[in-house]
Structure 1
Amino acid sequence: MRKEEFYVLNSLYNGSIGRAGCTYDVEETKALNDTNIYNKLVKTGYIEKESGSLTKTGLEALEPYRVNNAVILAAGASTRFIPLSLEQPKGLFEVKGERLIERQIKQLQDAGIKNITVVLGYKKEMFYYLEDKYGVKFIINDSFNIKNNIESLYLARKELKNTYICVSDSYYIENPFNQFEYHTFYSGYYGKETTDEVYARADGFGKITRIAKDNKIDGYVLMGHSFWRKEFSEAFINQVEAVRESGVYNNCYWEILVKDKLDELPDIFFKEYLPGNIFEFDYFDELRKFDSQYLGHTHSEIIRNIKLVFRCDEEDIIDFRNVSEGMTNTSFIFKIDGIDYIYRHPGDGTESIINRRNEKKSLIKAKEAGVDPTYIYADVNEGWKISIFIPEFREPDYNSFEDSKKILAVLRKLHKADITADYGMKPWEDALDMEKLLEKKDPVCFVQYEGLKNNIGQLYKMTLADGVEKCFCHGDTYKPNWMIRPDGSVILIDWEYSGYSDPGIDVGYYVVDAMYDFDKAEEFIKEYLQEDYNETTRFHYMAYVAIIAYYWFVWAMYRESCGADMGEALENWRDMAVKYAEYLLK
């Protein structure tokens, strides 16, 4: 059957079940306006001449093209869609009175697609109500934070047949789904503007011949749903299995694998829709343009927080930009009255290890001391914070001793400031407390580290009575928390781990993150201590390199137990703790 003939028969089938076709489908619209195709189908017995309805023969001709099911990808965290995505998955956003994923499920079901599987990951529990409401099935992708949607499709491989592949945040003006589909395709529209989307080139038959990102000229924009015939589904999974162990596509969308393997996969075609039917909202400002309710009332607690701090209207808060997720929290930039600010959203599990009330006290003290002038507001109950955004700065270079002198001058100023507090890091004791939290989840998780733990405990005891006095400390002095501005001034930000503590914490952690060898560490410590440098103080600060490395190693294990991916940082902290402890205890 020719494609144009299929479109006519499919349209008649939709009409027979009370569904109109999608007027935005370019090829279907052309086929329905071609009387020659219609007349030919009448002559071949697929269409009843008198009534114009589909005959039994026509229905049988459609059967090989039946869609088996749909898989909706909903595992991602949608980090570009901050701040709303910090509170709920994008598929659950309400757009013009309907939740995105619910609208799509209903459109699939209206088209006769009752077998629907949703792949979940980020905040998965918020989707569970869909099972009772719509009868959908779930697959859980627990690797959503370290792998992209290729992993979701692999986990759903048993569901991939003649299957619609959908994303939970698509919005279709008209229902694009059908009970029957002619061939494997990716939907989209012809665009003349440069976008962030994936583009395709197609030959005269509509077969995609090239896929590219960041197109600079007009072309076919890939957007919305895809349909895979069984042979394409099987070939795709074979390609995934061939590269899955290597991890080369872990951070890629599935379209990138198709782009790279286009010549090795069965043909995939471009299905063109007129612009204005398919929407994907990658950024909050795009949604505001589409649905005016998001200008005045977003139902977002984060937006409400900002609004109350600055006493402004929601539409005054604009230009949201994501900041790469930190080890502890997630942050984003926004603008009010031409000034950029940064909002810190607390990470999951941090409420167990960070006292936000103490952090706020430290932020105020640091601002008064002239060490961190960026502080605007912090909420002690929920853990969020607003600061002035500093656009022009650089981080210190661990290999530059001149940069070391700059940041050490700030540390000396902080440590000599007349600031006291009734709280502060106790890295050895705090590590033991986190170990207990971990052992509740896995009682044997620390067995292999008993030797290291004993060495760190021994070093800690050796520093207790050596005369080094506590002072007000930052607690987290790795280079991303330092800002060296063009005028040479230095700012130290992020005070979650601050308080009245041992100054070895601040000096030692910079050494740890820089992964200095022993000679460089001694040079760094000597520059900090200056006239106070002697064998006793040298040992104290070198010991704290091991102690604070151990603290962050245990902290990293705890964060991973909460679902974070600490990557090589965990291993680096462990290795530095082992290296310095063994060196000092010889």
Structure 2
Amino acid sequence: MNKKEFYILNNIYNIEKGRQKVSIDTFLNQSLKSVKDFENLVANGYIDEKSRKLTDKGLKALEPYRVQNAVILAAGPSTRFIPLSLEQPKGLYEVKGEKLIERQINQLIEAGITDITVVLGYKQEMFFFLKEKYHVKFIFNSSYNIKNNIESVYLARNELHNTYLCSCDNYFVENPFNQFEYQTFYAGYNVYKKTNEMYVESDEENRIVNMKKGCDQGQIVMGHSFWQKDFSDHFIELAEADREVGIYNEAFWEMLVADNLSKLPAMYLKEYTEDSIFEFDYFEQLREFDSQYVGHTHSEIIRNIKLVFRCDEEDIVDFRNVSEGMTNTSFIFKIKDVDYIYRHPGDGTESIINRRHEKRSLELAKEVGIDPTYIYMDVNEGWKISKFIHSFREPDYADFEDSKKILNVLRQLHKAPVSVDYGMKPWEDALDMENLLLKKDPTCFKNFESLKEKIGNLYKKTLGDGVEKCFCHGDTYKPNWMIKDDGEVILIDWEYSGYSDPGIDVGYYIVDAMYDFDDACKFIKEYLGDTYSKEREFHFMAYTAIIAYYWFVWALYRESCGAIMGEALFNWYEMAKKYVDYLTD
């Protein structure tokens, strides 16, 4: 049948099922510009002329167009939706009284689609209630934090037939789903502004002929799509071919389609109005759509900020994500035109960081003038609020003048009349983290026993050599330094601070800079000044190896908790091995 005939049959079917709130007569009177298509359907026995209802033959004619199932993508962490996404996945946000994903599932079920698969990743356990409540199936995407949603689509490949592909964060004002669909399509509408969405060009039949980003206006794709089986099969074939190369690992699935429109069966644009489909990329968009989020967000993070500043929730605005650090996630917010930064603790950090100690160090660092940014920290949950510094630069490892600036601050810190009863013990702490790792995988240290033994022997040589402990920072790599335009140098983030060996602070700067031996010696001599001796130089060189080893083991532990350490893990391993071998030889 042609598209117009399908349209008539499908709408009559929906009216008969109570899914459209008009009568068949009203629909026919409003929608039929010509009676020819209707008369053809009657003549072919698809519609009963008297009752204007579908016949058995009409139902059978629709059967090849039946939607078999739906796949809902819900694995992503939604980092643009900070701070709410730190507490729960975006699909579980309540919008106008309904959770986004539940509203979508209910709309699918209402349309007769009961075979529903949800692809999970970030905070997956929070979705588990859906299985018992709606009898959905789950697919688990363990790569949600390193690959984009094309991975979720590929993992659901066995569920892709005549299938709706949906995103858990869409809000449809009216139910857009049907029991039957005529052709492969992507929903969308026309806009007269620049957006971050994918723009499409379509021909006179609405077939998509081009897809691209960055346009000033035009048709965008937004919401659900429907894939006929031949489209699903071809997409899976292309995705399979990319598995070894991984060109699209960090891409949305639309990019694979955009680059292969000529190789794929036709995909059409199904047009909606701009006020019928919503996707909330940022918290402020949700506030505009649902007024409950202006005064009461149901967010503990927003509540924390409100209590610290004694303000109303609507005063907290302009949320901006900060790229995730190695340990935590942070975001910037504004109150009364002043920017602040909120630190949210990373998973697993409660096992290796004492937040009560960190808070005491923050207070001390502010007292001695090393870190004036600190405002408040919660010792039970580990969150922290600081002033946000706008104009600064990080030190240049290759610039020795910058090194002198850094060392001036370290000497000031290490000479501060501060004594606390906690602090890093990098060798002992590394052994403790190793034990945490061995509980997860008893063989994980098999290849590093030799390095561990060398570091242990080197550590013993530093004991009792006269270098005294002092108040230390513990994490002196470049991103924790701020050199302001006026020359002030600030040292932030005191999670690993305490009463420790100063070799930790000097050595880790060397490690992160990946200095060779000559540059390391020059850096150490500058730090020691009049107190320099070959024995003290050896101590600080040894701690370069020891602290590199500590961060290597730390990185192994963080990866076991799901973090992605990347090149840093290898660099720490290399620096530990390089310096311990040099000093041992």
Common fold by TM > 0.5: yes
Verify the 8 A CA contact 1:5 1:31 in the aligned structure 2.
Answer: no
| 1:342 corresponds to 2:330 | no
Aligned-pair distance for 1:21? Answer: 7.8
How many angstroms apart in 1 are the aligned matches of 2:36 and 2:326? 64
Task: Find the residue that maps to 2:396 and give its secondary structure.
Answer: coil
1:241, CA displacement in angstroms? 1.1
Q: Distance in 1 between matches of 2:455 and 2:425?
A: 13
**Matched-pair contact (CA < 8 Å) for 1:46–1:55:** yes
1:183 Cα deviation after fit: 0.9
Q: What is the CA deviation profile of residues 57-80 of structure 1, one whole-angstrom value per residue up to 9, with x for unaligned ones?
A: 222221111111000000011011
Shift, 1:45, TM fit: 3.0
Q: Whole-Å Cα distance in 1 between the matches of residues 501 and 377 of structure 2?
A: 25
Residue type at the aligned position of 1:94: E
Match of 1:57 in 2: 57
- CA 1:34 to 1:278, structure 2 compared with 1: closer, same or farther past 3 Å? farther
Aligned pairs (5 A) from 1:26-37: 35-37=35-37
Match of 1:122 in 2: 122
Query: What is the Cα deviation at residue 295 of structure 1?
Result: 0.7
Amino acid at match of 2:444: C
Counterpart Cα distance in 2 of 1:29 and 1:79: 48
Shift of 1:40: 3.6
Give the 5 Å matches for 1:438-477: 438-477=437-476
* Structure 1 residue 9 corresponds to structure 2 residue 9: yes
Question: Given that residues 332 and 343 in structure 1 are in contact (C-alpha distance below 8 angstroms), is that contact kept between their aligned partners in structure 2?
Answer: yes
TM-score (norm 2): 0.97
Q: Could you tell me how far 1:49 is from its partner in structure 2?
A: 1.8
Deviations 1:65-98 (A, max 9, x none): 1111000000011011011110011100111110
Structure 1 residue runs of 4+, over 6 Å off? none
Return the offset for 1:31: 5.7
Q: Distance in 1 between matches of 2:404 and 2:33?
A: 77
Q: Deviations over 1:8-57 (max 9, x none)?
A: 111111111111189xxxxx999655544334433333222222212222
Which residue type is aligned with residue 72 of structure 1?
A: I
**In structure 2, do the counterparts of structure 1 residues 548 and 29 end up closer, same or farther at CA, with 3 Å as the change threshold?**
farther
Whichever residue aligns with residue 553 of structure 2, its letter is V
**2:505 is matched with which residue?**
506
Offset of 1:199 from its aligned partner? Answer: 1.2
One-letter amino acid of the counterpart of residue 169, structure 2? D
Distance in structure 1 (CA, Å) of the matches to 2:200 and 2:276: 18
- Give the Cα separation in 1 of the matches to 2:327 and 2:553: 14
Distance in 2, Cα, partners of 1:383 & 1:315: 24
Structure 1 partner of 2:208: 208
1:120-152 per-residue CA deviation (whole Å, 9 max, x = no partner) reads 011111100100100100011111111111111
* 8 Å Cα contact 1:340/1:389 also seen in 2: yes
Query: Which aligned pairs between 1:173-322 and structure 2 lie closer than 5 A?
Result: 173-216=173-216, 218-322=217-321
Deviations 1:377-427 (A, max 9, x none): 000000000001111111111121121111111111111111111111000
CA–CA separation in structure 2 for the residues paired with 1:543 and 1:67: 66
Name the SS for the 2:392 alignment partner. Answer: coil
Shift of 1:302: 0.4
Q: Any conservation in 2 of the 1:11–1:21 contact (CA below 8 Å)?
A: no
Q: 1:217-275: CA deviations, max 9, x gaps?
A: x2111111011111111111111111112222221111111112222211111111011
How far did 1:542 drift? 0.8
**Conservation of the 8 A alpha-carbon contact between 1:504 and 1:544:** yes
Q: Secondary structure in 1 aligned to 2:552?
A: helix
C-alpha displacement of 1:552: 0.5
After superposition, the C-alpha distances for 1:317-344 in whole angstroms (9 at most, x for unaligned) are 0010100000100000000011000000
Aligned match of 1:575: 574
Distance in structure 2 (CA, Å) of the matches to 1:278 and 1:106: 16
CA distance in 2, matches of 1:470, 1:269: 69
Contact 1:150 1:252 (8 Å CA) reproduced: yes
Q: Which residue of 1 aligns with 2:142?
A: 142
Tell me the residue number matched to 1:20. Answer: 20
- Measure the CA separation in 2 of the matches of 1:134 and 1:376: 45
Cα distance in 2 for partners of 1:34, 1:415 equals: 88
* 3-state SS of paired residue (2:330): strand
AA in 1 matched with 2:66: R
2:234 maps to a residue whose letter is A
Look up the match of 2:329: 330
Partner residue, 1:160: 160
Q: Which residue of 2 aligns with 1:490?
A: 489
The SS at the match of 1:495 is: coil
Q: Which amino acid aligns with 2:60?
A: E
- 2:432 aligned with 1:433, yes or no? yes
Rounded Cα–Cα distance in structure 2 between residues aligned with 1:340 and 1:543: 41
Report the residue type matching 1:400 in the other structure. D
In the aligned structure 1, how far is the partner of 2:34 from the partner of 2:186?
Answer: 24
Residue-by-residue CA offset, 1:464-485 (whole Å, 9 max, x unaligned): 1111111111100111111111
Contact 1:395 1:484 in 2 (8 A): yes
Pair 1:585-2:558 in alignment:
no
Q: In the TM superposition, what are the counterparts of 1:476-555 in structure 2 within 5 Å? A: 476-555=475-554
Q: Say whether 1:42 aligns with 2:62.
A: no
Q: Does 253-262 or 109-118 show the bigger shift?
A: 253-262
Q: Is residue 400 from structure 1 mapped to residue 399 from structure 2 by the alignment?
A: yes
- Shift in Å at residue 171 of structure 1? 0.4
Secondary structure of the residue aligned to 1:263 is coil
User: Match of 1:214, as an amino acid?
Assistant: G
- SS of equivalent residue, structure 1 residue 224: strand
Distance 1:543 1:29, change over 3 A: farther
Shift of 1:305: 0.3
Which residue of structure 1 aligns with residue 25 of structure 2? Answer: none
Residue 313 (structure 1) shift: 0.6
Instruction: Find the aligned partners of 2:458 and 2:247 in 1 and give their Cα distance.
Output: 42
Pair 271,31 (structure 1): closer, same or farther in 2 beyond 3 Å: farther
**Pair 1:323–1:51, CA change in 2 (3 A):** same
For 2:490 and 2:396, how far apart are their aligned partners in 1? 15
**1:281-338 deviation line (CA, Å, top 9, x unaligned):** 0000100000001111111100100000000111110010100000100000000011
Report how far residue 191 of structure 1 moved: 0.7
How many percent identity over aligned positions? 69
C-alpha distance 270-30 of structure 1, shift in aligned 2 (>3 A)? farther
Q: Within 2, Cα distance between the matches of 1:576 and 1:19?
A: 66
Q: Are 1:484 and 1:490, in contact at CA under 8 Å, matched by a contact in 2?
A: yes
1:533/1:263 CA distance change after superposition, 3 Å:
farther
SS of equivalent residue, structure 2 residue 543: helix
| Alpha-carbon distance in 2 for matches of 1:39, 1:277 | 32
Tell me which residue corresponds to 2:132. 132
Give the match for residue 100 of structure 2. 100
User: 2: distance between equivalents of 1:184 and 1:52?
Assistant: 28
Aligned to 1:383: 382
**Could you tell me whether the CA contact under 8 Å between 1:112 and 1:178 is conserved in 2?**
yes
> Match for 1:467: what amino acid?
G
Q: What SS does structure 2 have at the residue aligned with 1:264?
A: coil
Equivalent position of 1:109 in the other structure: 109
CA–CA distance in 1 between the matches of 2:420 and 2:407?
A: 22
Aligned to 1:372: 371
Structure 1 contact 7–32 (Cα < 8 Å) conserved: no
Alpha-carbon distance between aligned partners in 1 of 2:579 and 2:9, rounded to the nearest angstrom: 75
Structure 2: runs of 5 or more not aligned: 23-27
CA distance in structure 1 between the partners assigned to 2:360 and 2:30 by the alignment: 68
Task: Give the aligned CA root-mean-square deviation in angstroms.
Answer: 1.5
Against the structure 1 CA distance between its residues 477 and 30, is the aligned structure 2 distance closer, same or farther, given a 3 Å change threshold?
Answer: farther
- Would the alpha carbon gap of residues 269 and 525 (structure 1) be closer, same or farther in structure 2, given more than 3 Å must change? same
Distance 2:528 2:228 in 1: 70
The aligned residue for residue 25 of structure 1 is none
TM-score by length of 1: 0.97
